[in-house]
Chain A
Amino acid sequence: MSPTFYPLASLSQIEKTPSRADGIPDDLEEDLRANGCKLIHEAGILLKQKQVAVATAQILFQRFWYVSSMKTFGIGDVGMGALYLASKLEECPLRIRDLINVYDLLSQRAAHSIGPKSSAEFKYAPMSYFGNTFYDIKDAIVVHEMQLLKRLGFNVQVVLPYGTLINYLRLLGLMSREDASTRAWGYLNDALQTPVYALYQIPTIVCAAIYLTTRHLQIILPSEPPHCWWELFDADWEDLWSVCGYIMRLYQERSEHERLRVVGMISKKGVRSWLEEHPSEL
């Protein structure tokens, strides 16, 4: 079987993403991307969706922001559009009604967490039967699914890293260590909240997950030239190290202000408001 040539961002797209061109700083864009992926993940759990579909949605979501700006599209709408599209790609299509209800729940929960009564217990208020909310959300999901396809050039091929991880762990003799495989698997899942799957090839990302695992669990593997274990898998040290950086940045402590700032930007309206308040960032 020939290797699958899934799309990866070009150097020019990486150096200046459309969001950065619109004045959104690097760290904020990265946090918004991570928040969008968390939203997809939460929706996937509530919908009892397969993990492969959720992972595919997160990767498509990350790719999208290399060709579109967060000023033009809301991360919530794109996230749900990605989840809907991925459910079809992975042959486990979601009922749009279920997705609408879950998106409404998550939107209300986000609004509550930044609202004046955020300390009070959150209570979900179901949509009004005669209101337009249902149809507005439905239109948003369908339109954003189409926007994802259109802006990704319909090239929505995704290769997930889990099979590669199992092969690599087996080759490195680490399959017997459950703590190692569990931790490496966890790093790959966490990496879905970062842009690495749109930037690097799967072997590099898998090697980064194994590298972090071996450092944390103090497992010794050949790491001195000319016998570096990652070279066995055609991984490049510089890139491996960069992927580790992306993953580790997820675990930085965020202040309450930073956390709420991101939650308030699920829609493009929130992003635009922030840009108006911070003209100096442009």
Chain B
Amino acid sequence: MSDSVAGPSTPSRKRSKWQLSDDDELQQLTINPAKRRVKTKHGKEPAVTVPAPPKNIPVARNSLHSVYVPPRTRHPPIIPSRSVYCYERLNQIEEGSYGVVFRAKDKQTGDIVALKKLKLDEEKNGFPITALREVNALMTCRHQNVVGIREVVVGDTLTQVFVVMDFIEHDLKSLLTLMPSPFLQSEIKTLMLQLLSAVKHCHANWILHRDLKTSNLLMNNRGTIMVADFGLARRYGDPVGVGGMTQLVVTLWYRAPEILLGAEKYSTAVDMWSVGCIFAELLLKEPLFQAKNDLELISMIFKLLGPPTNNSWPEYSSLPLAKTITLPSPQPHQFRQKFQYMTTAGIDLLMSMLAYDPAQRISAEEALEHPYFTESPLPKHPDLFGSFPSAAAGEKKRKVFDSPSAPARAADFKLLTEFDMI
């Protein structure tokens, strides 16, 4: 007679699955599952039955977990949000359209963190989808070069929600402004490798950042950069969602030409265009395209890259706004003139990132393998980067004293020394 397959209402208490390590699990090789029978309230057998399971089924595997099925213990438990009062507020870092960012200290561990307060006050449709995308994207894209989300904490009311992130001392925009001289080639390579690694990871997890720019790249005093502000991030692929993808993405100076020309569908290539603009900014110590509006930006792009052709961008003519723009006469690109001290490999990488056609634009994965990163000078180790005072942490820039001038005449110097010796 066949037994009904109806296990207990809680998973079996087999310790290996919940508490033991993989090694302990390997020692338990076989088990005889007891026959289980579930009675209904009326003492009847369940209506649907399946044959009894085979005997002596091994519980543990003779090999460790595959990378695709990590041990259950790696999964986080279901834990409610903690109170924001677990943190002590130190100072306000910045305020934007999305909300306020505070520097705070975890009362339990003493860790310094950044608390980003989400704007939820006048929400008629519940929790904003944009805030949800941001939190979800940060939780999905855990990586050493993506700012770490620690948790989301709540205040006294349902509208007080704070994202707790690692506190990072600087943002790249401020650093570029304050630095007396630009980053070295070896340093730029290190920064670019880290940025590309983060972007590759986001794209591998089906996340588009859609707002990559130097002010959204944070850098600590150990030469590590982290991608931050996933406020415009969203999943790409399927489903695209109701109403398609918005064109109001990416800060103007870093916006890809396909978005400028009204493309209804775009993908990972928009982030790669932004990466190209950041690369150029690191080299020039100022933004590549400092345009005031869309039209000016398009003309600046056309000037640097030369106008698009059927070869460089086959889909150009089919874009919604292409008909509204008069193309200038064909001319060669101006990369060599703009970046005089770049190697051929460096120019090639930059041009690959700033390719007109999204399909021809280099991916983050391909860019990481580019010869530019293996030619001399090699990338500098992050630990060898210099450190800077952090404005966000309230550190003051050390006052620069005028160095004393050299003595005007040797005779005066002699007088001084003689005087000192009296």
Contacts and interface: CB of A to CB of B under 8 A. Distances in A.
A156 B136 contact: yes
A255 B47 CA distance: 12
A8 B78 contact: yes
A150 B158 CA distance: 9
Interface string B43-87: 010111111011011111110011111101011111111000000
B5 A241 contact: yes
Contacts of A85: 126-127, 132
Contacts of B129: 88, 93
Interface of B is mostly: loop
A88 B46 contact: no
A161 to B, nearest CB: 13
B329 interface: no
Contact of A234 (B57, B69, B75, B132): B69
Interface of A: 1-11, 13-15, 26-27, 30, 50, 52, 63, 66-67, 84-85, 88-93, 96, 141-143, 145-147, 149-157, 198-201, 203, 212, 215-216, 223-226, 228, 231, 233-239, 241-246, 248-249, 251-253, 255, 258
Contact of B46 (A153, A236, A251): A251
Contact of B67 (A3, A237, A239, A244): A3
Contact of B80 (A10, A153, A251): A153
A67 B78 contact: yes
Interface residues of B, number: 74
Contacts of A157: 136, 139-140
Contacts, number: 215
Contact of B11 (A2, A149, A239, A248): A239
Nearest to A84: B126
Interface in B109-134: 123, 125-127, 129, 132
A224 B242 CA distance: 49
Given A93-B242, A245-B38, A146 B127 contact: yes
Given A67-B80, A231-B61, A238-B59, A15 B204 contact: no
A35 to B, nearest CB: 16
B154 interface: yes
Contact of A249 (B6, B69, B70, B158): B6
Among B53, B77, B136: residue with most chain A CB under 10 A: B77
Nearest to B201: A2
A146 B42 CA distance: 41
Given A93-B125, A237-B57, A253-B44, 8 more contacts: A1-B204, A7-B75, A8-B75, A14-B10, A91-B242, A150-B154, A154-B151, A245-B38
B12 A91 contact: no
A13 B76 CA distance: 13
A81 to B, nearest CB: 8
Nearest to B204: A1
Interface stretch (B221-229, B232-240, B276-284): B232-240
Given A88-B127, A225-B30, A255-B41, A151 B80 contact: yes
A241 B72 CA distance: 17
Contacts of B6: 245, 248-249, 252
